[in-house]
Amino acid sequence: MTDHDICLTVSLPARAGVSLIAPAGFSTPHAAPLSVAVRGADMCLIADPGAAQHALILTPTAERIEVEWRYAATGAPYPEALFAPRDSRFTRSAAALGAEVRGIADGRDPAGIKALADHVAALFTYGHPEQRYYDGADEIPQICSLTVGSCVDINAYFIAACRAAGYEAGYVTGYFIPREKRTHCEDMHCWVVTRAGGLVQEWDIAHHLKLGTGDIRPGLNPKPGVRLPMAHSMGLNFPAAGLTDIKLIGEPWWIGADGALSRPDLQIRLRGYDRLAG
């Protein structure tokens, strides 16, 4: 077998009239979705036309939903839509941030991305704060002191910095299954892809910080494991579901009556770690 399976199990609360939105998966050079199977829910395929990607709306029909993505360990180049700038509060850089990063890197020189990665890494310690540095803001603000941030927070800043400096950059959400766990993980992960002078590089600043590695290098796995891409970009719009400028979609989320998204209790399992890692 050359394909690989990840089975994502979503536990449903005992309440009616609540749907889920789930990513459909997309292709990267390392992995590509082959199919998505849903049990315990009716499924409707929707799209963000500006991001050229799809998602699933799941309406529960049972006490438990299973969504199973089948992946192959080969793929295709990153899609052009991943690199396209989006006018969103999650990607728009403040004037002060733009001025700062343009003093660090020249968007014509690919080597400047490494300088930006080092700069961003020096601004963060890894963690999951209750209050994020961009909460309530209409743009990504300049950070002037050491800040606690998750992979989502760190990469939002890195993307904004890269684009403000004149580099193409894209944001990937998905699952990272550590080598020591092999069959499961607890939640989603995200990483960044940059492109300059024809050179495509992948970055995971958060994993460097978690491992205490100060020298940030391009590459996906400073921490050994495998990755399954689920979606890309921040500031997504799904008109068919009434969702506008949502931060991201990396795993299934409940859609509240007011359009607010919340995370269910998920069980995330992987089959085929060795084939995917090999």
Task: Give me the architecture of the 82-228 domain, per CATH.
Answer: Roll (3.10)
Radius of gyration of the chain (CA): 18
What does the alpha-carbon distance between residue 205 and residue 2 come to, in Å, rounded to a whole number? 30
pLDDT, one tens digit per residue, over 166-188 is 999 999 999 999 999 988 888 99
Torsion angle, CA of 246/206/91/48, rounded to 10 degrees?
-40
Handedness of CA 128, 129, 133, 134 (dihedral sign): positive
Write down the pLDDT at residue 64.
87
Indicate the residue type of 138: D
- Indicate left, alpha or beta for 33 from its phi (over 0: left) and psi (-120 to 50: alpha): beta
Residue 14: the pLDDT is 39
Taking a C-beta distance cutoff of 8 angstroms, is the pair 55, 82 a contact?
no
For residues 241 and 150, what is the distance between their CA atoms, to the nearest angstrom? 27
For residues 217-224, average pLDDT: 88
pLDDT tens sequence across 227-256: 999 999 999 999 999 999 999 999 999 998
User: Amino acid identity, residue 265?
Assistant: D
pLDDT of 2: 44
pLDDT score, position 48:
97
DSSP-based three-state secondary structure for 104 = coil
Average pLDDT over residues 15-21: 81
* CA–CA separation, 11 and 59 (whole Å): 13
At 255 the three-state DSSP class reads: strand
Question: How high is the pLDDT of residue 275?
Answer: 75
- Residues 66-86 have pLDDT tens digits of 899 988 888 899 999 999 999
pLDDT in tens, 3-12: 445 555 555 5
- Answer whether CATH 2.60.120 is correct for domain 3-78+236-277: no
Q: What is the pLDDT of residues 83-135, one digit of tens each?
A: 999 999 999 999 999 999 999 999 989 999 999 999 999 999 999 999 999 99
Q: Can you tell me the distance from the alpha carbon of 81 to that of 129, in angstroms, rounded to the nearest whole number?
A: 30
pLDDT above 90: percentage of residues in the chain: 71
Mean pLDDT of the chain: 90
Check residue 12 and give its pLDDT: 54
Contact assessment for residue 56 and residue 37, using Cβ atoms and an 8 Å cutoff: no
pLDDT (average), residues 264-274: 86
CB atoms within 10 A of CB 36: 18
Could you tell me the pLDDT band of residue 215, with boundaries at 50, 70 and 90? confident
Residues paired with 53 in a beta bridge: 48
% of the chain at pLDDT higher than 70: 94
pLDDT of residue 3: 45
8 Å CB contact between 140 and 97: yes
Domain boundaries defined on the chain: 3-78+236-277, 82-228
Residue found by looking up tokens 């919340």 in the block:
262
Of 39, 72, 67, residue with least CA distance to 55: 67
Residues 6 or more apart from 52 whose CB is under 8 A from it?
79, 80, 81
Give the Cα separation of 248 and 43 in Å (integer).
Answer: 20
